[in-house]
Structure 1
Amino acid sequence: MTGLTRFQGHGVLVTGAARGIGAAVARRLAEEGARVLATDRDLPEAEQTAAALREQGLAVEAFACDVADRGSVEAAVAHTVGTFGSLDVLVNSAAHCTPDVPLFEDQLDDAWARDLDVTLTGVHRCCRAALPHLAASGRGAVVSIGSVNAQMDFGNHAYSAAKAGLGSLTRTLAGHAAARGVRVNLVEPGTVRTSAWEGRDDDLDALRVLYPLGRVGEPEDIAAAVAFLASRDAAWVTGTTLRVDGGLTAVHSGFHAARRPFREV
């Protein structure tokens, strides 16, 4: 528990909240007093996550939401407002990443379209449905989860393009929503230890040396950044991309390792 109460009385909707970063965000905001609707396409797992948090005394409910379906998104927004009385914070964590095929020209249209539809257009659907309610709350905030893939080549062409698009959408929506009292920001994580890396501890350990801070991220690292941007502590912050990546994109560790012998001569 953080001891903070920055979201006391807030109604919050988190997409992709069954596991990983989304689940950590749901926990963090609920710990700070929010009433959270943890949505996911995988409802049984979202229900397990919500039930575990309720056992800790946190106000978290699960709800089925497929961000690729407009009706599903609108139902989740309506349920948040109907259940909690307001929608004050929207956190867009749902994403889809299709592994690259060996040759770019062999990538299928359907795979490319699926990554963009969930990862980028899904955020558009959620923001479109939520914005009137966020404006009505008087303290509305949107925080989306991007990726350092938007900044450098880490593979996954379609996913990376979608995450890069989130940066532009964040800025343009921030400009539109500012006059309505709604802030819109983006968090860009580096490698984070989630279920996607389950059984791959050796891979994570190999990546650790690329991070100046000496480790990969944990979901709680990202949740802390989301909590800041969604709170009134960031009342004068909008249209911003906050990289939470252990210094990965600020320091070229491989370059420094390669030139070290020359400095020692």
Structure 2
Amino acid sequence: MRAAPESPTRVPGRRFEGYGVLVTGAGRGIGEATARRLAAEGARVLVTDVDAGRAERAAGAIPGAVGFGCDVADRAAVEAAVAYAVESFGSLDVLVNNACACSPDAPLFEDEPDATWARDLDITLTGAFRCARAALPHLVASGRGAIVTIGSVNGAQDFGNHAYSAAKAGLASLTRTLSGHAAPRGVRVNLVEPGTVHTEAWTGREPALARAADHYPLGRVGRPEDIAAAVAFLASADAAWITGVTLPVDGGLLTSNVGLRRAFDAAE
């Protein structure tokens, strides 16, 4: 399949001038790209990561960013990160829940250990809950608060990884319920649902990425910047009348079964 042309990422002005933003899991990949995009549009960004050194290195390369170690599995660490953002920036206007854990499946479902299941859900789903709980009063106080969570197509269809997929599906549900609770308080809550994205997690598995690209209607896998652009839209005033939605950013993966269509084409 011919790949869709790669258009340059454009930054449409400075929609986040004066905003304070916290991004979890932002030491690399989608989180780092999101921090970079929001900072490029004027935000002060707290780059958090379970690896404090990685957070600081990422922040050091982003103007207007500050690094801070935060384990979203630890309530005290989450509350400390939120407090630091408010103290440093004067307000917290946007929370981006990106931190997650994805453990490989056991060969047989009945051999899945409790610890693996619990870890993926605790970091991916409960971690987002902890961050939203700590941030919400400050997002309400800002008068323009927004939460954007990073889900996955794994939460909508079967692509493997039982615990990770269940956690991502839970994030979509949490987005819907929290949006209804937060809307009367002036806070919007939305979710971005990426397909396969070429991040450091795929290092050494580039052939698998190349094969995956053939299953995407737009002919390629995603880039972190693709997801960051969607996050920036949903966090901005451009999406002022949007809340509770799940936005697939997946190259068309969920809309078309490319392999099946090819099978039918080959039979004709």
Into which bin does the TM-score normalised by the smaller protein fall?
Answer: over 0.9
Q: Secondary structure of 2:33's match? A: helix
Once the two structures are TM-superposed, the CA of residue 261 in structure 1 deviates from its matched residue by 2.3
Once the two structures are TM-superposed, the CA of residue 3 in structure 1 deviates from its matched residue by 4.9
Distance across 1 between alignment mates of 2:104 and 2:13: 39
Task: Show the counterpart of 1:51.
Answer: 60
Residue of 139, 146, 149 corresponding to 1:144: 149
Once the two structures are TM-superposed, the CA of residue 68 in structure 1 deviates from its matched residue by 0.2
Q: Deviations along 1:9-59, whole A, 9 cap, x unmatched? A: 000000000000000000000000000000000111111111112xxxx10
Corresponding position: 1:242 with 2:236: no
Runs of 4 or more above 6 Å deviation: none
Q: How does 1:113-124 map to 2 (within 5 A)?
A: 113-124=118-129
Quote the RMSD (CA, aligned, Å): 0.8
Distance across 2 between alignment mates of 1:106 and 1:177: 40
Distance across 2 between alignment mates of 1:178 and 1:3: 26
Structure 1 unmatched runs, 5+: none
Q: Secondary structure of 2:47's match? A: strand
Distance across 2 between alignment mates of 1:151 and 1:258: 24
Q: Secondary structure of 1:78's match? A: helix
Residue of 187, 191, 194 corresponding to 2:192: 187
Task: Show the counterpart of 2:224.
Answer: 219
Q: Secondary structure of 1:12's match? A: strand
Task: Show the counterpart of 1:176.
Answer: 181
Q: Secondary structure of 1:249's match? A: helix
Task: Show the counterpart of 1:135.
Answer: 140
Task: Show the counterpart of 1:201.
Answer: 206
Q: Deviations along 1:178-231, whole A, 9 cap, x unmatched? A: 000000000000000001101221111011100000000000000000000000
Q: How does 1:17-166 map to 2 (within 5 A)?
A: 17-53=26-62, 58-166=63-171
Once the two structures are TM-superposed, the CA of residue 2 in structure 1 deviates from its matched residue by 1.9
Distance across 2 between alignment mates of 1:165 and 1:90: 18
Distance across 2 between alignment mates of 1:2 and 1:232: 15
TM-score by length of 1: 0.97
Distance across 1 between alignment mates of 2:267 and 2:219: 23
Q: Secondary structure of 2:198's match? A: coil
Distance across 1 between alignment mates of 2:159 and 2:255: 15
Distance across 2 between alignment mates of 1:65 and 1:118: 12
Q: Secondary structure of 1:160's match? A: helix
Task: Show the counterpart of 1:4.
Answer: 13
Distance across 2 between alignment mates of 1:261 and 1:3: 43
Distance across 1 between alignment mates of 2:13 and 2:71: 31
User: What amino acid maps onto 2:30 in structure 1?
Assistant: I
Structure 2 unmatched runs, 5+: 1-9
User: What amino acid maps onto 1:42 in structure 2?
Assistant: D
Task: Show the counterpart of 1:15.
Answer: 24
